[in-house]
Amino acid sequence: MGYPENGRRWTVMTGRSGLLGFRMSWCGVLAALLLLAAGAARAEAVRIDGSDRVALSSFALLRDPGHTLTIADMLGREAGRFEPAPRLAEGHSLGFTADALWLRVDLTVAPKGAGRYFLTLDIPNFDRLEAWGSWTLAGEDGRADAPPLLRFGDRVIDDQAMPTRVHAAGIDLPAGQHRLWLRAVSTSSMALPVDLWRPGAFWASEQVKVQIHTMLTAVIVLLGLGALLLAVALPSLPMALYAGSALATSGHVMAMNGLDVLLWGGHFFFGDISSVVWLVGAGVLGAGFLLTALPLRRHARWAVPVLAIPALLGAGLLAGYPFLDGYTRPVVIPFATNLMLVVLVAGMAASVQCRLAGDRPALYMIFGWLALAGGNLLAGLRNAGILPWTDLTYYLPAYAPMVEMLFFGAMLAAQLRQLRVEKARTQQALVEALRRNEAELAHRVAERTTALDRANAVLHDRETQLRAILEAAPFPILLSDAAGSMMLYANRRARVQFLGDPDAALTPRPAAGFFCDPSDRTRLLARLEREGVVENAEIELQDIAGRRFWALTSMAVVAHEGQPARLVAVNDISRRRQLEQELTKAKEMAETVAGLERAARATQRQFLAMISHEFRTPLTVIGMAVQNLGLDAADADADADADAADAADAATQDRLARIGRAVR
């Protein structure tokens, strides 16, 4: 904006917190001592002589701690309490206060200076500013509810300001001696650079300023959008966090230069602390960007929790910010900004450590942190009253995050260049490795091919041997599908028996027709499904000629050409069953003959017993008679008769012995 050297400008800091949470810092104490040393100056009348711009630089000040005073009090009992502002306050901050400030400015309006003016507050973030003019209160008779001449601010519902970048409202000044009362209320550390502008000069000046601020803001927005597109195209988490931080920084810058009010008619966040909210959001995303962009786990592991904890706390504060009362929100801002200060310090230390460890892109991160730290230092000195409040001291801290984003973008570009170099080296190493691997692979393929050929030859030999064994098997062997309905293979014996020709070409054909009883096939398949194998099941089959025969059938589950199949072995037992039947008949005949023989022997024994009885009875009588004769002859000493009796007895015994042998 630029001020003439002989022009004086007043600024008053109000609110509960500054950008870095300063309160009664050593800077504020030093500013108070300087103000006391400078003393107070008499409030002189400001001359309005028709210049394009007049700074309301001479004023008297009254503090209203309870926010209870009215314009009637300013005209009555409180009029004598106004004190001239110290000389050093002309262009410097008076410190931090939550009071409502009443400012009284005497105006001397020359005839050529009378007319239409714009009363401007060259700070886009301010709660409320109200103005009363003595030329409008003549008929009000000092009423407490006398309406202000104008009022505007972020917390004014019926804002009378014009749609401009800064707060501005029209005012008509008549010629003569007048007095202007201003009542300022703000909940954050804002100054009050108030001017009177001729409308044409104001619009001309604002047009240039809007163009400058638009171009500077567009740089940040383009950085954020470009990084966002790259983050989507790559994709890249550091690039996405950088894009979010850049866009949040653009929101902070627009809140500080007033472009958001010009474009959308208000701040994105309610109140005059919108810029701080955006700054905290940018800090949270910037901390995430730092965590993902720099190799902290390798060079500065300690920085991970130190950066993550403040970032998470700041994100929590931002998440709960919309639920806070309008005048309660500023209470959390010092805590949030102090968290961002921790992020700044930790980020600077981690970046330095990474650079010392050999990470070259970290140098740009250091420059970015230095730019942000320089902006914060300048804002702190300005808020504490050490430095004057000018366009330079106001907008340099506001655009410090933009410089930080530029350096961070340069760091990403350096990382991309480094990645390209590493990519080229990696590609070269990969090509060489691929060539080596290709040669080794070709050698291995040749070896594997030779081994595979040998394996195939062995497999072919084994397949030939197995087929020869199957072809030479003394009983039919068949292979059917999983359902057991189609025949897939048959050996020579099977082809002879079931196809009628040992050289018949085998084509898939139904196998169910070989079973005399279809239920036998169903029963075998069910048993195979249940037990996994069937052994020696006697089934009646029929060959291609229709001849029926009995066979021992065995089944097993195998794999054929990658598909499940059923292996069936058939052993013709018709001859054995015939022999078994003949043996059964012979056994039955032998049992019949043996029974007849036993019956004949029993009859013979009965006959011989009867004959023996018939012969033994007379012979026994004869023997007993002969014995008696022998006994009588012995008693008579007749030797001849005794010998004859002995001879007769011996003959009788001989006949009995013969009869006994014959019976046995």
List, as one string, the DSSP characters of 588-641. Answer: HHHHHHHHHHHHHHHHHHHHHHHHHHHHHHHHHHHHHHHHHHHHHHHHTT-HHH
- Among 18-32, 78-92, 319-333, 570-584, the minimum mean pLDDT is found in 18-32
Tell me how far apart the alpha carbons of residues 508 and 273 are, in angstroms, rounded to a whole number: 87
Amino acid identity for residue 218 in this structure: A
Q: What are 61-65's contacts with CB under 8 Å, separation 24+?
A: 61/12, 61/85, 61/101, 61/102, 61/103, 61/104, 62/101, 62/102, 62/103, 62/104, 63/97, 63/99, 63/100, 63/101, 63/102, 64/99, 64/100, 64/101, 64/102, 64/183, 65/98, 65/99, 65/100
Task: Return the bridge partners of 151, or none.
Answer: 130
Q: Residue 8 — very low, low, confident or very high, per pLDDT cuts 50/70/90? A: very low
Tell me how far apart the alpha carbons of residues 119 and 54 are, in angstroms, rounded to a whole number: 10
Please name which of 416, 13, 473, 391 lies closest in space to residue 208, comparing C-alpha atoms.
391
List the beta strands (DSSP E) in 457-505: 477-481, 486-490
Tell me how far apart the alpha carbons of residues 652 and 49 are, in angstroms, rounded to a whole number: 197
| pLDDT value of residue 586 | 80
Task: List all residues 6 or more positions away from 209 whose beta carbon is below 8 Å from its beta carbon.
Answer: 1, 165
| pLDDT value of residue 228 | 93
pLDDT tens-digit series, residues 231-267: 999 888 999 999 999 999 999 899 889 898 888 877 7
Of 3-7, 130-134, 233-237, 613-617, the range with the highest mean pLDDT is 130-134
154 or 506, which is more confident? 154
- Answer whether residue 452 shows pLDDT above 70: yes
| 3 state SS of 295 | coil
Residues 292-310: what's their mean pLDDT? Answer: 86
Residues 505-514: what's their mean pLDDT? Answer: 67
- Among 288-292, 315-319, 462-466, 499-503, the minimum mean pLDDT is found in 499-503
Residues 64-82: what's their mean pLDDT? Answer: 89
Tell me how far apart the alpha carbons of residues 629 and 643 are, in angstroms, rounded to a whole number: 10
- Answer whether residue 39 shows pLDDT above 60: no
**Do residues 369 and 351 lie in contact, with contact meaning Cβ atoms separated by under 8 Å?**
yes
pLDDT tens-digit series, residues 191-217: 778 899 999 999 999 999 999 999 999
**Do residues 477 and 555 lie in contact, with contact meaning Cβ atoms separated by under 8 Å?**
no
Task: Return the bridge partners of 48, or none.
Answer: 109
Of 314-323, 406-415, 553-562, the range with the highest mean pLDDT is 406-415
| pLDDT value of residue 636 | 56
| pLDDT value of residue 226 | 92
Buried b (16+ CB within 10 A) or exposed e, 233-242: eeebebbbbb
Please state whether beta strands 115-121 and 194-197 pair in parallel, antiparallel, or not at all (unpaired). antiparallel
Residues 392-418: what's their mean pLDDT? Answer: 90
- Answer whether residue 88 shows pLDDT above 50: no
Please name which of 383, 401, 393, 294 lies closest in space to residue 340, comparing C-alpha atoms.
401
Q: How many CB atoms lie within 10 A of CB 397?
A: 22
| pLDDT value of residue 23 | 34
Residues 95-123: what's their mean pLDDT? Answer: 88
- Answer whether residue 502 shows pLDDT above 90: no
Residues 264-278: what's their mean pLDDT? Answer: 72
What are the tokens at 257? 């230069």
654 or 415, which is more confident? 415
Task: Name the average pLDDT for the chain.
Answer: 80
Q: Residue 224 — very low, low, confident or very high, per pLDDT cuts 50/70/90? A: very high
- Answer whether residue 277 shows pLDDT above 50: yes
